[in-house]
């Protein structure tokens, strides 16, 4: 049996980061949709009910990652969510929000993001 793949919505306002992450995720066979900011991601999420995971940057214009997570959680309490940031520590206003992983964009992001997705995939298959 092959590795489980997901329909992923990737959200980041930094084109270089978004393109690098897209390359990583697509090379693993995941079906990918991208957005430049939270508001665009929200529109795409509402239009694409098959999204199985959202990976979002924290700090973006128009609608930030935390605002996106809060909006998604009103509709779907169980959708896996990964929040990315360039900061080391989760912001205080993240407390109480149901996210699966809070990951720092660092030199290990490829390994870290793939490990997080594998964990999410394993949870879904249980």
Range(s) of the domain holding residue 70 = 7-125
The phi, psi pair for 125, rounded to 5°, reads: -85, -5
Q: What is the mean pLDDT of residues 113-126?
A: 86
Per the domain annotation, does 21 fall within a domain? yes
Q: How far apart are CA 121 and CA 64, in angstroms?
A: 26
CATH number, domain of 119, equals: 3.40.50.2300
pTM (global) more than 0.75: yes
Owner of token pair 């940057």: 57
Per the domain annotation, does 2 fall within a domain? no
User: What pLDDT, on a 0 to 100 scale, did the predictor assign at position 1?
Assistant: 41
Q: How far apart are CA 52 and CA 8, in angstroms?
A: 6
Domains of the chain: total: 1
Would the pLDDT of 102 be above 90? no
Per the domain annotation, does 1 fall within a domain? no
Express each pLDDT in 27-70 by its tens digit: 999 999 999 999 999 999 999 889 999 999 998 999 999 899 98
């Amino acid at each position: 049996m092959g590795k489980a793949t997901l329909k992923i919505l990737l959200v980041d306002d930094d084109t270089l980061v978004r393109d690098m992450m897209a390359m990583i995720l697509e090379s693993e066979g995941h079906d990918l949709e991208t957005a430049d900011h939270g508001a665009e991601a929200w529109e795409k999420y509402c239009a694409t009910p098959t999204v199985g995971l959202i990976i979002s940057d924290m700090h973006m214009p128009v609608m930030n990652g935390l605002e996106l997570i809060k909006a998604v959680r009103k509709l779907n309490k169980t959708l896996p969510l990964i929040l990315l940031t360039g900061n080391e520590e989760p912001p205080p206003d993240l407390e109480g929000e149901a996210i699966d992983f809070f990951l720092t964009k660092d030199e290990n992001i490829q390994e870290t993001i793939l490990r997080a997705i594998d964990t999410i995939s394993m949870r879904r298959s249980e």
